[in-house]
Structures are given as C-alpha cells and as structure tokens.
C-alpha cells in the first residue's frame, strides 16, 4: 500500500468520529501524492505525514457561565495547536452549536497550509466552542467570552498562539476576550487579532477575507482570459466574509445577486444592497427576511437554493459542505465559469471533482480565503512594532499577497504536470514550506 493510503487508513481508524477531519486530510494527502511519491522513502522514515496529521496538542475544557435568568450554563471549549513549524499557532475561534473536536481539527489542519501559502510566519491552529451567540444578550455573550478566556489564556500568547474570529466570533466577542486576557495575564500584547481599532486592531482586517477572495478571483479569471467586470456572482452566507466579498465584487464591476443564512436565501436581480445587508446583519443581527422586507427587488426563499441561480462566478462563503454534487451540476448546467471558496471546505469532494472535470476554474478555500489570516499576520506585525498602518497600506499588501498566492499555486500545479488544478497547487505549495521546516527542525 502507498504511504499516503497507509496514513489515511490509520487516521480514520484512530479518529473514528471525525468525518470533517478525514475529509480535509483526504483532500490534502490525495493531491500531495506526486510530491510524496517522489520522496516516499525519506518521508516515510521521517514519519512526516503522521507528524503532520497529529496535532502538537489539543485542549478541551468546560466553560460555565450564568445566563440572564440566573441559570448556570455549561459549554465545551477547544483549542487545537496543530503545527508551529513556520510560526506561532494562528487561527480563528468558531462559536457555533455544531462545533466538536473533529470540526476544530479539520479547520486547524487546513490552517497549516493556508498560513504557509500567505508567505508570512504563522503556524496552524483553531479553536472554539459549541456556544451559540444567536439570541443571547450582550451580557450573556460577555459572560461566556470571559469564562472561555479564563481557561484559554493559559495556553496562548503573542509569540505562542494567536486566535482570531471565525463563525460566530466577531469584533464584540474578540473585545470581551481581549479584556479578560489582559485582566488575568496582566500584559497588553497582540494575543488576538481582529481587535477593535481603538485597542490594537488593524485597518482592513474586517474587510480582508472578503476583499482577498475577490483579489484572488480577479487574478484567476484574468490569467484564464476572463474579466471580473460585468460578471454575475452568487454568494452564499451573509456574515463577515460574504458581506465584504459582495462589497468588493461590486467595486470591481461585478453584480452579486444572492446571499443566504442558515434559514433561507435572497435573490436580488438588481444586485445586493450592501448597506442594507450590513444594517440587517451587523447592526440588527437579524434574519434575511428583514432584508427582503426592506428591498422591493428581492425575493426571499426558505431553505437552501442559492446555487440554482444562473451565474458566472460562485462564491460559497457560509460553512463547510454547503455546495454539494447536485449544486455543482446546477452551476455547470447554468454556465458557471469559476468557483472560489470564501468559507473553509464549503465544497464536498465529489462536487469539487465534478466542477474541475467540467472545466470550471476552482480556487480552494485555503488559498482563496487566506486574506483574512494574512491580514491578521499584518496586525501582529503592527502590534510588534507598536505602530498602525493606513487602510491603503494594509489593503495594498493584501492585494499583493493574494496575487502572489494565486501564482504560487499556479506554478506548483504546473511543476507537477497538473496545470489548472489549483487544489493540487495550493496543497503542494502550502506543504513544501512546512515539510522543509519540519525536517530542518528535527524530530520534535
């Protein structure tokens, strides 16, 4: 049996209840086959793949907090420190009822390669909790965040592990967590990114993931003879990534006609009104029904359905496994030319293969959404030098990073005879640097 298949089999046997983790590892290791096969003896002897797929360490802890009725609630907190061979652990904190260890491990594993692709010195990690911020008062969110950080603060630090936002964790949650870290540890340090601008945050971090997604998509289209201008775009999700992806798509002359949330979706043929979407989602924290109620051109639909709308470009920006084989078929039938993942692993493996086989340009999340963590690394740099850069400075660095990522994966794919396969290109380019650093640092 090949080394890759042996390791895949062992991971599934050893971590039986973690399907998302299996999926992420399978995608990465399968596309690394040519690289592994070229170095099979060496990597096997080094147990490189076993070391790469086993987190350095993982924490799981109780998070008790008191709700507004005086009732004690208990959630479970996680932090997985996956790999720090190229820099301190770096990755977001997800707050969503679906969170479990397997989901955090898949996200942490993806983060290793994504962070490597940014070209910046950051390792891979991820954390979160099964706490649901939806419908909670600010005081309840604060109580949860403080309790979560009371435990998490033992394991993180500006040079050790630097968490940030993800689903359910935005500026409000990062603020409460930063305050509690400072109170317990007594140091004012860049231990979290995505901070508010008044206390060490970076300009353009809020916009970075969505903007970065569009910068990479624009470059991918350009290098394949297309122009983003004039394209019709379907976006899923209506959170941080979706909102700023929509804004930048419009700035580049495209038209976004859909957004979604966990209960339904909106089709707005005149183009999504970003100011209204921000008001509904960022200010009121309301459902998309409120967007549709305030916008005569918009139709609201319950359930899923975004990918049935005809578009040139599809940008899944909600969550994992939200673009299925049947959706891929609908996109291809409607003439879609490109899919770029704003979310982490939103496209299932069979849907990805179908899109690639039908010549749809496909940019995987670990490349396409890397602008968020890249700008987090720029926030870390600003915190270290105790300076802040202008919006234009950060945004122009972000643009350079995203264009560079695209060319790195394009080149890596070509080097292994897989021209146009950006999934393989991203995995290979991300892996090469991490593997070299791991081997150079010995068996640790």
Catalytic positions, written as ranges: 126
Determine if 49 is a binding residue for ligand 2IT (CB under 6 A).
Answer: no
Determine if 352 is a binding residue for ligand NDP (CB under 6 A).
Answer: no
What gap in Å lies between CA 208 and CA 121, rounded to an integer? 18
Determine if 342 is a binding residue for ligand NDP (CB under 6 A).
Answer: yes
- Out of ligand 2IT, ligand NDP, none, which partner does residue 90 contact, by CB within 5 to 8 A per kind? ligand 2IT
Determine if 319 is a binding residue for ligand NDP (CB under 6 A).
Answer: yes
What gap in Å lies between CA 131 and CA 76, rounded to an integer? 8
Comparing CB distances to ligand 2IT, the nearer of 311 and 373 is 373
Among 240, 308, 383, 427, binds ligand NDP (CB under 6 A): 240
Phi then psi for residue 280, to 5 deg, are: -65, -45
Binding mask 143-182 for ligand 2IT (x = CB under 6 A): ---------------------x-x----------------
Q: How far is the CB of 299 from ligand NDP (least distance, A)?
A: 18
What gap in Å lies between CA 172 and CA 161, rounded to an integer? 20
- b/e map 26-35, b = 16+ CB within 10 Å: ebbbebbbeb
Report how many residues bind ligand NDP under the rule CB under 6 A: 22
Stretch that binds ligand 2IT, among 43-51, 86-94, 251-259, 309-317 (CB under 6 A): 86-94
Determine if 246 is a binding residue for ligand NDP (CB under 6 A).
Answer: no
Closest CA to 320 of 195, 167, 200, 211: 167
253-292 positions binding ligand NDP, by CB under 6 A: 261-263
Cβ-contact 147, 66 below 8 angstroms: no
- Out of ligand NDP, ligand 2IT, none, which partner does residue 347 contact, by CB within 5 to 8 A per kind? none
Cβ-contact 147, 73 below 8 angstroms: no
Q: How far is the CB of 52 from ligand 2IT (least distance, A)?
A: 18
Comparing CB distances to ligand 2IT, the nearer of 346 and 425 is 346
Q: How far is the CB of 380 from ligand NDP (least distance, A)?
A: 14
Determine if 27 is a binding residue for ligand NDP (CB under 6 A).
Answer: no
Stretch that binds ligand NDP, among 24-32, 65-73, 342-350, 419-427 (CB under 6 A): 342-350
Applying CB under 6 A, which residues contact ligand 2IT?
90-92, 114, 164, 166, 193, 344, 372-373, 376
Interface contacts to ligand NDP, rule CB under 6 A? 165-168, 209, 237-242, 261-263, 317-319, 342-344, 369, 372
């Amino acid at each position: 049996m090949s080394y890759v298949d042996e390791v895949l089999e062992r991971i599934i046997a050893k971590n039986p209840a973690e399907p998302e983790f299996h999926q992420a590892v399978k995608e990465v290791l399968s596309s690394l086959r040519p690289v592994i096969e070229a170095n099979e003896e060496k990597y096997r002897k080094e147990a490189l793949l076993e070391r790469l797929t086993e987190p350095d360490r993982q924490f799981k802890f109780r998070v008790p907090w008191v709700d507004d009725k005086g009732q004690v609630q208990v959630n479970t907190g996680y932090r997985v420190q996956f790999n720090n061979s190229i820099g301190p652990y770096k990755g977001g904190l997800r707050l969503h009822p679906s969170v479990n260890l397997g989901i955090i491990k898949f996200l942490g594993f993806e983060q290793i390669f994504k962070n490597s692709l940014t070209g910046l010195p950051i390792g891979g990690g991820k954390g979160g909790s099964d706490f649901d911020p939806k419908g909670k008062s600010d005081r309840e969110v604060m109580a949860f965040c403080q309790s979560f950080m009371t435990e998490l603060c033992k394991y993180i630090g500006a040079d050790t592990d630097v968490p940030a936002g993800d689903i359910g964790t935005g500026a409000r949650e990062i603020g409460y967590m930063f305050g509690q870290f400072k109170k317990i540890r007594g140091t004012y340090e860049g231990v979290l990114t995505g901070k508010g601008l008044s206390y060490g945050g970076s300009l353009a971090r809020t916009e970075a993931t969505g903007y970065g997604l569009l910068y990479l998509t624009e470059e991918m289209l350009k290098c394949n003879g297309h122009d983003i201008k004039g394209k019709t775009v379907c976006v899923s999700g209506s959170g941080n990534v979706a909102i700023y992806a929509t804004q930048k798509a419009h700035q580049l002359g495209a038209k976004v006609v859909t957004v979604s949330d966990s209960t339904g979706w909106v089709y707005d043929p005149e183009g999504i009104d970003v100011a209204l979407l921000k008001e509904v989602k960022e200010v009121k924290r309301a459902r998309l029904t409120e967007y549709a109620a305030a916008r005569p051109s918009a139709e609201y639909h319950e359930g899923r359905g975004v990918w049935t709308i005809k578009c040139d470009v599809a940008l899944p920006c909600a969550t994992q496994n939200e673009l299925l084989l049947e959706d891929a078929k609908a996109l291809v039938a409607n003439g879609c030319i490109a899919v770029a993942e704003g979310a982490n692993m939103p496209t299932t493996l069979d849907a990805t293969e179908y899109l690639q086989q039908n010549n749809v340009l496909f940019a995987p999340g670990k490349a396409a959404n890397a602008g968020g963590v890249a700008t987090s690394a720029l926030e870390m740099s600003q915190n270290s030098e105790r300076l802040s850069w202008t919006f234009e400075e950060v945004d122009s660095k972000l643009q350079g990073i995203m264009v560079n990522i695209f060319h790195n994966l394009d080149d890596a794919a070509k080097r292994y005879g897989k021209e146009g396969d950006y999934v393989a290109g991203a995995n290979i380019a991300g892996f090469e640097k991490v593997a070299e650093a791991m081997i150079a640092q010995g068996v640790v």
